[in-house]
């Protein structure tokens, strides 16, 4: 069944366009704008260009999804297979199935929303041309990662995103941006070198780099020792990008220093590349090697779940001077731990849960980073103690719609039933209860119990954040200075103009202690509403996503056999 009937050749063109168009758009962004498109501000021309290109890619991705045959999601569709380097049998092989299609659409959506947001709120830094070009190169590399079906092309696409993200952090980031950017690039490059060796080992030993052929063979052409070495090498590179504890330490620094759109793309898209590699490459190509390391992967995953939650609790407590962006970054370590736990079960239930959690994390954490960026713009800081304030009102009293949306994103992140965050975590825990044959049930049930405890910790720190940031903290009235006790107008409010727009007057006694902040702007609503809406839709109608992934996962784990 397809939503609209599209010919195979048009499907091929759409997928190729989705991968190549951002790269061509990046080159065009560096060229001088035509005179008629410059407008009053030449910088706006290139920002409009970014919105146009990412919008066209999103539209193509939606049409591709509409033309996708939902009755056969395990079959590779919109495939292109062209010889590129005959000597190494490297081919330009593109295709999508029920596993890669949701990630492709998520990437196109988040990048478009980031471009739209940046049009109105460009981060401080060098030339807007360079900013738009880097975002488009980043999009092209990420989309290619989810679309290519050749091991060497996968590696090239996987590495293609590193340089743009490095410069986005280093040139458009905040405090400590250079150290964070260097830490990001060194961790990921070192992991990638080892990963390349593993990919070459598989390709040379099996005689092909074609991921479809390797998945169909299901490791029968590779000895157990080769599979173990390959999983160790490739898994290390993928684990750094995921990031898996204890290889996660680059992530909080990168998120804290990155501009808002950089954090959204890093959390919503780049982290998915690592877990996608586990599902697309290691599970079907080296099943014996994965079975050897699955208990260790699950152990690291649950440690990451608990560690990330405890780090968030430490940052959330009063007086800790915790940074809200850093807290959300540590929450990602915990959430990606659930994804890794689901993959480690090597069961359809667990892997489907991991893929669902991937999409849910991209939607919810992308929204959270958008919101934290907006709060930081208004307050001038993301320090939790400052955000909680001493007025007893905080966001609910100063920017109620912004506070309500932050509370919504927080409860979605903690896994409230009926929202997207719930299903992925529950399915991974169900998968851990009954892991694949050959894996220790007592061990995995212990991991399941630890993961379930992690969900309680997640709820604890998210509710603390909502209470402190949205509701504020009361302080004795005597602590207020005479100036603070005197009523202020909108003109003499200290918040007036600080967030880029004047504060509105507040009537009554509250105006003495709770000067208003700018609430949600129209461009912010346009960028955030799709993420909030999809979080609800995925939570209430999970069958849409699971109907895509489940047949593909079943076939992948069965070695290409339906």
Residues of the chain with pLDDT under 70: 1, 33-40, 390-393, 474-516, 559-562
CB 23 within 8 A of CB 164: no
The Cα–Cα gap between 254 and 280 comes to: 26
In this structure, what are the phi and psi dihedrals at residue 286, rounded to the nearest 5 degrees?
A: -130, 65
- Listed residue (6, 22, 13, 282) closest to 144, CA to CA: 22
Report CA 107 to chain centroid distance, whole Å.
Answer: 9
Total Cβ atoms within 10 A of residue 510: 16
**What are 376's strand-pairing partners?**
none
Name the token pair of 322.
Answer: 């915790």
Residues 6+ apart with CB under 8 A from 541: none
Q: What is residue 489's predicted lDDT score, i.e. its pLDDT?
A: 35
Query: Strand, coil or helix: what is 59?
Result: helix
Three-state secondary structure of 311-376: HHHHHHCCCCCCEHHHHHHHHHHHHHHHHHHHHHHCCHHHHHHHHHHHHHHHHHHHHHHHHHHHHH
The Cα–Cα gap between 147 and 100 comes to: 7
CB 230 within 8 A of CB 286: yes
Residue 247 burial class via C-beta count within 10 angstroms: exposed 0-12, middle 13-18, buried 19 and up: buried
Q: What is residue 25's predicted lDDT score, i.e. its pLDDT?
A: 93
Q: Which helix (H) or strand (E) holds 114?
A: helix 100-120
Q: Which helix (H) or strand (E) holds 96?
A: strand 90-96
The Cα–Cα gap between 333 and 329 comes to: 7
Query: Strand, coil or helix: what is 69?
Result: coil
Secondary structure letter of residue 68 according to DSSP: S
Q: What is residue 348's predicted lDDT score, i.e. its pLDDT?
A: 93
CB 385 within 8 A of CB 553: no
Query: Strand, coil or helix: what is 83?
Result: strand
202: left (phi over 0), alpha (psi -120 to 50) or beta: alpha
CB 368 within 8 A of CB 273: no
Tokens 């009937």 label which residue? 5
In this structure, what are the phi and psi dihedrals at residue 437, rounded to the nearest 5 degrees?
A: -60, 135
Name the token pair of 113.
Answer: 């929303």
The per-residue b/e assignment along 35-44, b for 16 or more CB within 10 angstroms, e otherwise, is eeeeeeeebb
Q: What is the pLDDT of residues 196-243, one digit of tens each?
A: 999 999 988 888 888 998 888 887 888 899 999 999 999 999 998 888
- Listed residue (377, 450, 368) closest to 412, CA to CA: 368
Q: Where are the alpha helices (DSSP H) in 247-323?
A: 250-257, 260-265, 271-277, 283-285, 287-316
Q: What is the pLDDT of residues 8-64, one digit of tens each?
A: 899 999 999 999 999 999 998 888 766 655 556 777 888 899 999 999 999 999 999
**Contacts from 525-531 at CB under 8 Å and sequence distance 24+?**
526/116, 527/113, 527/114, 527/116, 527/117, 527/370, 528/113, 528/367, 528/370, 528/371, 528/405, 530/109, 530/113, 531/113, 531/363, 531/364, 531/366, 531/367, 531/370
Q: What is residue 392's predicted lDDT score, i.e. its pLDDT?
A: 58
Residues 6+ apart with CB under 8 A from 238: 191, 195, 274, 275, 277, 278, 282
CB 362 within 8 A of CB 110: yes
The Cα–Cα gap between 322 and 278 comes to: 33
CB 526 within 8 A of CB 121: no
Q: How far apart are the first and last CA of the chain?
A: 18
**What are 383's strand-pairing partners?**
323
In this structure, what are the phi and psi dihedrals at residue 532, rounded to the nearest 5 degrees?
A: -65, -45
For the chain, the 3-state helix, strand and coil shares in percent, each to the nearest 5, are 70, 5, 25
The Cα–Cα gap between 381 and 37 comes to: 36
Residues 6+ apart with CB under 8 A from 206: 214, 217, 221, 222
């Amino acid at each position: 069944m397809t939503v609209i009937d599209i010919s195979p050749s048009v499907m091929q063109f759409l997928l190729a366009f989705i991968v190549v168009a951002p790269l061509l758009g990046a080159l065009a962004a560096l060229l001088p704008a035509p005179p008629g498109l410059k407008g009053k501000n030449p910088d706006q021309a290139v920002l409009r260009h970014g919105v146009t290109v990412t919008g066209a890619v999103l539209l193509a991705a939606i049409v591709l999804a509409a033309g996708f045959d939902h009755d056969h999601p395990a079959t590779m569709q919109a495939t292109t297979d062209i010889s590129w380097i005959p000597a190494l049998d490297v081919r330009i092989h593109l295709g999508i199935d029920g596993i890669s299609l949701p990630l492709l659409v998520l990437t196109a959506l988040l990048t478009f929303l980031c471009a739209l947001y940046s049009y109105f709120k460009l981060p401080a830094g060098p030339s807007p041309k360079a900013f738009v070009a880097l975002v488009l190169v980043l999009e092209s590399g990420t989309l290619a990662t989810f679309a290519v079906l050749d091991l060497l092309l996968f590696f090239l696409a996987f590495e293609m995103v590193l340089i743009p993200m490095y410069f986005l952090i280093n040139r458009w980031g905040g405090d400590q941006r250079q150290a964070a950017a260097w830490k990001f690039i060194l961790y990921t490059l070192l992991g990638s070198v080892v990963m390349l060796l593993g990919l070459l080992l598989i390709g040379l030993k099996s005689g092909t780099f074609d991921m479809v052929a390797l998945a169909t063979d299901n490791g029968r052409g590779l000895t157990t020792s080769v599979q173990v070495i390959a999983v160790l090498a490739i898994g290390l590179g993928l684990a750094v990008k995921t990031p898996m504890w204890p290889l996660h330490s680059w992530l909080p620094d990168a998120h804290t220093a990155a501009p808002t759109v950089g954090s959204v793309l890093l959390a919503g898209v780049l982290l998915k590349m690592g877990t996608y590699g586990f599902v697309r490459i290691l599970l079907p190509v080296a099943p014996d090697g994965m079975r050897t390391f699955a208990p260790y992967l699950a152990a690291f995953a649950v440690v990451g779940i608990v560690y990330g939650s405890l780090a968030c609790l430490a940052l959330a407590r009063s007086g800790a001077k915790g940074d809200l962006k850093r807290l959300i970054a540590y929450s990602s370590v915990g959430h990606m731990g659930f994804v890794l736990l689901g993959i480690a079960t090597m069961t359809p239930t667990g892997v489907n849960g991991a893929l669902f959690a991937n999409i849910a994390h991209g939607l919810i954490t992308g929204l959270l980073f958008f919101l934290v960026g907006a709060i930081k713009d208004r307050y001038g800081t993301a320090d939790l103690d400052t955000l909680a304030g001493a007025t007893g009102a905080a966001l609910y009293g100063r920017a109620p719609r912004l506070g309500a949306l932050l509370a919504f994103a927080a409860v979605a992140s903690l896994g409230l039933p009926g929202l997207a965050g719930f299903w992925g975590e529950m399915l991974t825990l169900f998968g851990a209860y009954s892991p694949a044959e050959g894996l220790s049930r007592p061990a995995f049930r212990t991991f399941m119990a630890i993961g379930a405890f992690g969900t309680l910790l997640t709820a604890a720190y998210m509710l603390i954040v909502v209470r402190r940031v949205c509701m504020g903290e009361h302080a004795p009235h005597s602590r207020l200075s005479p100036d603070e006790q005197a009523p202020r107008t909108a003109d003499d409010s200290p918040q007036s103009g600080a967030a880029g727009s004047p504060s509105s007057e507040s009537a009554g006694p509250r105006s003495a202690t709770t000067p208003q902040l700018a609430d949600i702007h129209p461009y912010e609503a346009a960028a955030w509403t799709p993420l909030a809406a999809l979080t609800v839709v995925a939570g209430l109608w999970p069958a849409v996503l699971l109907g895509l992934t489940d047949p593909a996962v079943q076939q992948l784990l069965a070695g290409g056999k339906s």
